[in-house]
Amino acid sequence: MRVYFQDILDDEDEPDYYEVVPGTQFEISRTVNRQSQSTYRINGNESSFKEVCELLSKKGIDLEHNRFLIL
């Protein structure tokens, strides 16, 4: 499974319009093997679960209430 992220700027006057902030795109993926061991990647580079959580927290994604699909 892969999930793609990017920062956006919403236009308060146009609810359906937004701009992507250049250089803010990143991808997180998780694979699980037959022994139920997970491998996490950030932008294709192997990372630890802790590194993934730190990056998502830094971006303001709520991990405290188990509301994030990939985890």
* Bridge partner list, 65: none
Over residues 36-53, the pLDDT tens digits come to 999 999 999 999 999 998
* Per-residue confidence (pLDDT) for residue 40, from 0 to 100: 96
Segment 45-68 shows an average pLDDT of 85
**pTM, entire model:** 0.78
Question: Could you tell me which of 43, 40, 39, 51 has the C-alpha nearest to residue 6?
Answer: 43
- For the chain, the structural domain boundaries read 2-58
